[in-house]
Amino acid sequence: MNKNWEVSYFKPDEPGVFPIQDGIRLAAECPGSDKECGVVLFDKEGRHTKIPFSKEGRQGTLFGIQIKGDGVLTCRYQYYIGENKKTDSYAERITGLEKWGAGKNRERVAWGGFLREKWKYAIAGGLAGVANGFFGGGGGSVFVPLLTGYCKLDQRR
């Protein structure tokens, strides 16, 4: 994990995920805020960095944190309150539950993620509408290979 990240705090008006230049702004509700709460970032190898929220970024039960630096947008994340972890319901992307079932440890875990190249998804949505207009319901058989091959979008399996 990159320890050279720049962490700062802001007072949010609403919960959510807000992309910024070279980073991300996260705003989350932390009820029962007598316990420590914050965000845990996970890299592709599963290493994690725990970053607590600060009173500096608190507004009521909302906390805001801004993280900038190399590799931030490639991480997955979860919020924590005390020992409990939770998936962000405002995440731009949810990963970890791609396969049915709980796995070896009988625990299902989901992480939030960030969409780095939103233009691909916007164009894909528009082209899907055009393909279905020309081919009817069979447009997906033409369109899915195009998106997975050319645009490098993930295909849900």
* Ordered mean pLDDT values, 10 residues apiece, the chain (157 residues): 83 91 90 82 87 93 93 87 87 70 57 60 65 63 62 57
pLDDT of residue 20: 85
Token pair listed for 152: 């490098």
Does the predicted model carry a pTM greater than 0.75?
no
What pLDDT shows up at residue 87? 87
3-class state of residue 149 by DSSP? helix
Within its chain, how far is the Cα of 148 from the centroid?
Answer: 21
- Which two tokens mark 9? 């705090």
- What is the separation of C-alpha 53 from the centre of its chain, rounded to a whole number of angstroms? 18
Alpha carbon 11 to chain centroid, angstroms:
20
